[in-house]
Amino acid sequence: MALKHDWTKEEILEIYNKPFMELLYEAATIHREHHDPNTVQVSTLLSIKTGGCPEDCGYCPQAARYHTDLEGNDLMSVNQVKAQALRAKASGSSRVCMGAAWRNVKDGEEFDNVLEMVRTINKLDMEVCCTLGMLTENQAERLAEAGLYAYNHNLDSSEEYYKEVISTRGYQDRLDTIGNVRKTNVTVCSGGIIGMGESEADRAGMLVALSTLNPQPESVPINALVPVEGTPLAEQQQVPIWDMIKMVATTRIVMPETQVRLSAGRTQMSREGQAMCFFAGANSIFAGDKLLTTPNPDVSEDMEMFKMLGLNPQKAFEKKSQPESVAAENSQFQSQGEKPKWSRPAHKIDRNLEAQQKAKTKA
- Which domains does the chain show, CATH number per domain? 9-313 (3.20.20.70), 324-362 (no CATH)
Q: Which of 119, 203, 252, 261 is catalytic?
A: 261
What would the mean pLDDT of 98-117 be, rounded to a whole number? Answer: 90
Is 142 one of the catalytic residues? Answer: no
> How far is it, in rounded angstroms, from Cα 236 to Cα 226?
9
Torsions phi, psi for 97 (to 5 deg): -110, 120
Half-sphere exposure for 26 (CA within 13 Å, toward CB): 18
What would the mean pLDDT of 265-281 be, rounded to a whole number? Answer: 91
Q: Which of 53, 174, 203, 277 is catalytic?
A: 53
Of residues 357, 6, 18, 33, the one with CA closest to residue 200: 18
336 has a pLDDT exceeding 90 = no
Is 130 one of the catalytic residues? Answer: no
What pLDDT score was predicted for residue 298?
66
Query: Apex CA 258: angle with CA 256 and CA 261, to 5°?
Result: 120
What pLDDT score was predicted for residue 104?
81
Q: Which of 97, 142, 203, 266 is catalytic?
A: 97
Query: Using one digit for the tens of pLDDT, what is the confidence trace for 42-92?
Result: 999 888 888 777 888 878 887 767 767 766 688 899 999 999 999 989 888
277 is in an annotated binding site: no
Q: Percent of the chain beyond pLDDT 70?
A: 82
> How far is it, in rounded angstroms, from Cα 39 to Cα 282?
10
129 is in an annotated binding site: yes
Is 277 one of the catalytic residues? Answer: no
Of residues 219, 141, 227, the one with CA closest to residue 186: 141
278 has a pLDDT exceeding 60 = yes
> How far is it, in rounded angstroms, from Cα 327 to Cα 35?
11
For the question of whether the overall pTM of this predicted structure is more than 0.75, the answer is yes
354 has a pLDDT exceeding 70 = no
Query: Apex CA 157: angle with CA 262 and CA 227, to 5°?
Result: 65
* Burial readout 92-116 (b: 16 or more C-beta within 10 A, e: otherwise): bbbbbbbbbbbeebeeeebbebbbe
Q: Which of 95, 130, 174, 189 is catalytic?
A: 189
130 is in an annotated binding site: no
189 is in an annotated binding site: yes
> How far is it, in rounded angstroms, from Cα 211 to Cα 90?
35
119 is in an annotated binding site: no
Is 53 one of the catalytic residues? Answer: yes
* Burial readout 314-346 (b: 16 or more C-beta within 10 A, e: otherwise): bebeeeebbeeebbebbeebbeeeeebeebbbe
Residues 6+ apart with CB under 8 A from 243: 194, 195
Report CA-CA distances (Å) from 183 to 141, 175, 186, 257. 8, 13, 8, 20
> How far is it, in rounded angstroms, from Cα 262 to Cα 251?
11
Q: Which of 95, 129, 203, 277 is catalytic?
A: 129
| End-to-end alpha carbon distance in the chain | 32
360 has a pLDDT exceeding 50 = no
Helix ranges (DSSP H) in the chain: 9-16, 20-34, 78-90, 109-122, 137-146, 159-165, 171-182, 200-211, 241-254, 271-280, 299-309, 324-335, 346-362
Q: Which of 57, 252, 266, 344 is catalytic?
A: 57
Query: Using one digit for the tens of pLDDT, what is the confidence trace for 238-262?
Result: 899 999 999 999 999 999 999 999 9
